[in-house]
Copies of this chain bind each other. A is one copy, B any other.
Amino acid sequence: MTVETIASHRCFEGEQLRLKHRADSLDCDMHFSLYLPPAARGGDVPLLYWLSGLTCSDENFVQKAGAQRYAAEHGVAIVAPDTSPRGEGVPDDPEGAWDFGLGAGFYVNATEAPWDRHYRMYDYLTEELPALLAEQFPVDTSRAAIFGHSMGGHGALVIALRNPARFQSVSAFAPIVAPSQCPWGEKALGNYLGPDRENWKNYDTCALIEAGALQLPMLVDQGEADNFLEEQLKTALLEQVCSRTGYEATIRRQPGYDHSYFFISSFIGSHIAFHARALEQSLAED
């Protein structure tokens, strides 16, 4: 597995890298960003996966979230993958909409043509990328947590709920908690997975919790001034299913905050500290 270093910047005494590789699971070249804290010079460090929202690449988070300070303090690496396959031959929304296709992979394995050839972000994130990171970088993928924003919050929650043994904790900013029940999700899942809504349940946080997903430390922040809250994000559905099933999640509604990176940056330190605590606890239990 060859990985090309596109850029490297010293940041909080660690290194902010941008990398490129051939992703077999997606049948295209992919970029990803990786922050290695100063502690990574002394050996493998725990790994946080950050999944971004609609229209983002691997770069938005590393430029706007201000996460490196906290990652350096806690000695954790953060990988930020892209949000969809890219490149020539990768199909996009036929009308060029920003909520589907490029920049909008929704972290699923598509089953429907023409999407099924490249749009396999679930496999990429749960298999190919972890293997590559474990092989090539000073990260311990057995000590991992996952978080994300909006579509990426959806991806983080779904991936963690389906792989509870592989993540010590999960968190999300303004996640799409029930893609089966909102316009963004219905468009994406309908196209990627086809019309049978039974197949959507594997990619729906509320449905997974309803079906009895294992308990995992979970933190969710949702801005109350977020324009997408009512129609797309529907935090209330997560609150209800957690309450109904006894799933313990910390869901915080943050007055005045919107959907932007100004919201994310305000609470990213709190999320990274949450994951660092869960990772330390799991280490203490080993």
Q: Which residues of A contact B (CB under 8 A)?
A: 9-13, 16, 63-64, 66, 68-69, 223, 225, 254, 256-258, 260-263, 265-266, 269
Contact = CB atoms under 8 A, between A and B. Distances in A.
A112 to B, nearest CB: 37
A53 to B, nearest CB: 15
Contacts of A12: 265-266
State the number of copies, please: 2
A262 B64 contact: no
Given A68-B262, A69-B265, A265-B69, A256 B10 contact: yes
Contact of A258 (B9, B66, B260, B266): B9
A152 B258 CA distance: 30
Nearest to A13: B266
Contacts of A263: 9-11
Contact of A63 (B10, B64, B258): B64
A66 B10 contact: no
B262 A10 contact: yes
A98 to B, nearest CB: 19
A258 B69 contact: no
A10 B266 contact: yes
Contacts of A10: 223, 225, 254, 256-258, 262-263, 266
